[in-house]
Amino acid sequence: MRMKLAMAATSLAAMVLAVAATSRPTSAEDAGPKLDEKLEKYAPVAGISGNISSVGSDTLNNLMTLWAEGFRKHYPNVTFAVEGKGSTTAPPALIDGTSDIGPMSRAMKEEEINKFEKKYGYKPSYVAVAIDALAVFVHKDNPVEKLSMQQVDAIFSQTRKGEYSEDITKWGQTGLTGEWKNADIVLYGRNSASGTYGFFKEKALFKGDFKASVKEQPGSAAVVQSISVDRNAIGYSGIGYKTAGVRTVPISKNADSEAYDATADNCYAGKYPLQRFLYIYFNRAPGKNASPVVREFLRFIHSKEGQEVVVKDGYFPMSQKMVEKYTDQYTDSK
């Protein structure tokens, strides 16, 4: 039976992370992600051709390009058009029928699902395709050891719904001394079309509002690049965009709890507070099959080969048990 797509994203994340805790890919502490040995090798099928139009997430843009390249090695007659301007662009393109799939770095909002359902009479289908740690980045020379979620909120938010005691505008307020004590904190982030923007606003800002001083960037790469050349900077992005010029800051749920870095192990264990799933949405009517080319593309992504791409791009792979939670979303109806 197909998964109920109305399930809340937070409940879904809790369910899948519970699976990950018992069947996660084998890896040493902080050694980086490794593939689940139970992931199945992709087996090509005959007769696959056509076009796939992808409109959506910037965070997933590199992954989509790499997956498309890998898929075309099996099916050279398949062509791709990939546009990654932000998760907010995915639902309208699916509703209008101008895209076949919609990569998103957040779950669809209720109002987006309702608009889709109003037009088609059913909800969109979706699958999780990878795990991401939404990282808080600083310049590589910045010595800040850790931040609580409440401190992150006080740094980025004008509303401080995390109820931290004061607005944080200087690095000295985070515990830094010496030349850093009076240094102004420079903020970088994404624009409102971004799913990363929305996720960070909901989780790190406790659904509050960003400060007007946040320098909004058009893409995740631009955020990380800006931080790498600004010693006083802090910003947020998917872990896949990490470079040698920045470092991640360990985050704690509150001032009294342990801080955890944005690593695969900490995400699989549910310890890192800003972990999330990356999704692909698509249009599949109840009782009908996904198009063969979309079906095979999703099956490829969930294979060993597809999850190797996830690791290559700096994200964290799904286990076979995670994959099995979604396969009935695109496999043929009986």
Q: Give the predicted TM-score (pTM) of the model.
A: 0.86
Tell me the percentage of the chain whose pLDDT exceeds 70: 90
Statement: residue 209 has pLDDT above 80? yes
Tens-digit pLDDT profile for residues 252-279? 999 999 999 999 999 999 999 999 999 9
Statement: residue 285 has pLDDT above 50? yes
Residue 176's pLDDT band, with cuts at 50, 70 and 90, is very high
What does the alpha-carbon distance between residue 49 and residue 76 come to, in Å, rounded to a whole number?
A: 8
- Structural domains for the chain: 9-132+277-329 (3.40.190.10), 133-275 (3.40.190.10)
Closest CA to 281 of 164, 117, 45: 117
Give pLDDT, residue 33: 85
Statement: residue 6 has pLDDT above 80? no
Statement: residue 11 has pLDDT above 50? no
Q: Tell me how far the alpha carbon of residue 185 is from its chain's centroid.
A: 25
Tens-digit pLDDT profile for residues 288-318? 999 999 999 999 999 999 999 999 999 999 9
How does the average pLDDT of the chain come out, rounded? 91
Tens-digit pLDDT profile for residues 58-70? 999 999 999 999 9
Tens-digit pLDDT profile for residues 52-105? 999 999 999 999 999 999 999 999 999 999 999 999 999 999 999 999 999 999
What does the alpha-carbon distance between residue 16 and residue 322 come to, in Å, rounded to a whole number?
A: 6
What does the alpha-carbon distance between residue 230 and residue 139 come to, in Å, rounded to a whole number?
A: 7
Give pLDDT, residue 150: 98
Token pair of 185, please? 């904190």
Give pLDDT, residue 332: 73
